[in-house]
Amino acid sequence: MPNSQRVTPAAAQQAQASYSPRLCNEDLAPTRDQNWSWYNIFSFWMSDVHSMGGYVVAASFFTLGLASWQVLLCLLVGICIVQICANLVAKPSQMAGVPYAVICRQAFGVFGANIPAVIRGLIAFAWYGIQTYLAANALMLVMLKFWPALAPMTQVSWLGLSQLGWLCFGTMWLLQAMVFWHGMNAIKRFIDIAGPAVYVVMVALAGWIVYQTGFDGISFTLASKSLSAGEQTWQMITATALVVSYFSGPLLNFGDFSRYGKNMGEIRRGNRWGLPFNFLLFSIVTVVIVSGTQSLFGKMITDPIETVSMVGNDLAVAIGLLTMIVATIGINIVANFVSPAFDFSNCSPQKISFRTGGMIAAVGSVLLTPWNLFQSPELIHYTLDVLGAFIGPLFGILLVDFYLIKRGVVSVDDLFDDTPKGKYWYQGGFNPKAIAALVPAVAIGLVISFIPSLHAVANFSWFIGVLLGGGCYRWIARDELAAAPAAYRGKVIIQKD
């Protein structure tokens, strides 16, 4: 059972009044609304899994030449690793009620935390624009299907996007901003609906395909190539690593959502249903659809939008495509809107609120012209791989600091103390040991990204980063093991399972 030292809301409000304005605002302060149940966490992961990207990733594993049981085993092992990591990274934020950017102050210092915050914000910055573009492209397909007269608007482009493309992109951008602008409660209600809605469409689509092809038209092995035992083993290891890598972004800032959890028991339950059970079921439904397209249309279609658009009934097509768009909005808000909102707010709490931080990311995503970035595979590969090389080390350092160095203790008041007396002041607000561990781990990740001969291990860069970042920090900070809890000032939360 958790053993926590808590304070009353009145005492918490009094404590927050003494927090440094350079480190605190209403959005970054410890939340008093920890009311998310296991279903809300479950819906969070449903929104993250049920996307066009998740669909393609799950479908692609069945084309590796592996038997169905091998692919499903890889998916299950990979997602169980994600579940374990999600439980670990959720705990400090749930205990303290603060987002990822704030809990990083424990390891990096009260000002040094801006380093991981900006890195994570920039990664979300790029992906937000790309996901918005994908949703806009789906909307454009819907509009062209029902209003063919709009086709001339696709022939004139400006900055790489057609007139209709700009209209659709602006519509998706505005819809996401409207949901986000209403705050975390609106986001919670939205993802509670978005994830389950996609399941309805996916199951209906799978049922339609089975009805058209019969069960004989469904195969769980979608590749004709045969692999040796060694090749099968390597493909299985690679597929498992890819599952973890796909979720590494949302996993890193999962604390932005776990901070609202009622308790760790609810969060673990939500992770259990939202990850292994949900992802495996989603993968099975996905392969039924993809396999069925090969039998029904003579080619394997991995784009869910294209598959839905080939259904004969116009009303079914409209409902299916609009639901896919809603799902994409859901994952974009969850993975790429909330994170930079907290991260950028952390850099200047009094000037940048949660809303302002999110809108910075939204506006910046347009300036990046993500459709051009997305249409240049080499550029997007290097840009996002370089940023992604930071995720593993940041994750490793955060966990090692909390569990091994601080021994699971959070001094919440010190997270907002910008004086040398603060526990997390270190040297001028920066922890040089955490930064020293981050640099070589990131450097190795960059080497893997840029040297062609090392691309074979690029799929394992997250694991390499976690081990190097966490291992280096544990060694460098070995003389700073946590003191007894009594040595901490102010509000201290101690939680033991």
pLDDT digits (tens, 9 = 90+) for 214-244: 877 777 666 656 777 788 888 889 888 888 8
Q: Report which residue type is found at 88.
A: L
- In the predicted structure, residue 256 carries a pLDDT above the cut 90: yes
Task: Tell me how far apart the alpha carbons of residues 495 and 2 are, in angstroms, rounded to a whole number.
Answer: 5
Pick from 378, 383, 393, 369: nearest CA to 463: 393
Task: Tell me how far apart the alpha carbons of residues 171 and 166 are, in angstroms, rounded to a whole number.
Answer: 8
Tokens for 248?
A: 């590494």
Task: Tell me how far apart the alpha carbons of residues 286 and 52 are, in angstroms, rounded to a whole number.
Answer: 11
> In the predicted model, what is the mean pLDDT of residues 89-97?
95
Answer whether 48's CB lies under 8 Å from 282's CB. Answer: no
Q: State the pLDDT at residue 5.
A: 43
pLDDT digits (tens, 9 = 90+) for 269-302: 999 999 998 888 888 887 788 778 878 887 777 6
- In the predicted structure, residue 469 carries a pLDDT above the cut 60: yes
Task: Tell me how far apart the alpha carbons of residues 301 and 286 are, in angstroms, rounded to a whole number.
Answer: 11
pLDDT digits (tens, 9 = 90+) for 162-173: 999 999 999 988
CA distance to 380, 438, 444, per residue, from 448 (Å): 16, 16, 6
> In the predicted model, what is the mean pLDDT of residues 69-97?
91
Mean pLDDT of the residues in the chain: 82
Pick from 5, 91, 102, 97: nearest CA to 266: 91
Answer whether 395's CB lies under 8 Å from 439's CB. Answer: no
Angle subtended by helix axes 68-96 and 391-399, to nearest 10: 50
Task: State the pTM of this model.
Answer: 0.85
Q: State the pLDDT at residue 2.
A: 38
For residues 172, 176, 178 and 182, what is the CA-based torsion angle, rounded to 10 degrees?
170
For residues 14, 16, 17 and 18, what is the CA-based torsion angle, rounded to 10 degrees?
100
Q: State the pLDDT at residue 226.
A: 73
Q: State the pLDDT at residue 14.
A: 54
Angle at 210 (CA atoms; ends 207, 215), nearest 5 degrees: 135
- Percent of the chain exceeding pLDDT 70 equals 87
DSSP for 448-496? Answer: HHH-GGGGGGGGGHHHHHHHHHHHHHHHHTTT-----GGGS-S-EEE--
- Who has greater pLDDT, 311 or 11? 311
How far does CA 291 lie from the centroid of its chain? 28
Scanning 97-183, the segments in alpha helix (DSSP H) are 100-103, 105-108, 114-146, 163-181
Tokens for 73?
A: 């085993």
pLDDT digits (tens, 9 = 90+) for 15-58: 566 899 999 998 999 998 899 999 999 988 987 777 666 776 77
Q: What's the burial of 252, exposed, middle or buried (CB within 10 Å: 0-12/13-18/19+)?
A: buried
- In the predicted structure, residue 143 carries a pLDDT above the cut 60: yes
Task: Tell me how far apart the alpha carbons of residues 183 and 172 are, in angstroms, rounded to a whole number.
Answer: 18
Specify which of 270-279, 290-299, 380-389, 446-455 reaches the highest per-range mean pLDDT. Answer: 270-279
Structure letter (DSSP) for residue 311: S
Mapping DSSP to helix (H, G, I), strand (E, B) and coil, where does residue 2 land? coil
Task: Tell me how far apart the alpha carbons of residues 66 and 232 are, in angstroms, rounded to a whole number.
Answer: 7
- Who has greater pLDDT, 246 or 149? 149
Angle subtended by helix axes 114-146 and 354-367, to nearest 10: 60
Answer whether 280's CB lies under 8 Å from 72's CB. Answer: yes
Pick from 118, 60, 103: nearest CA to 401: 103
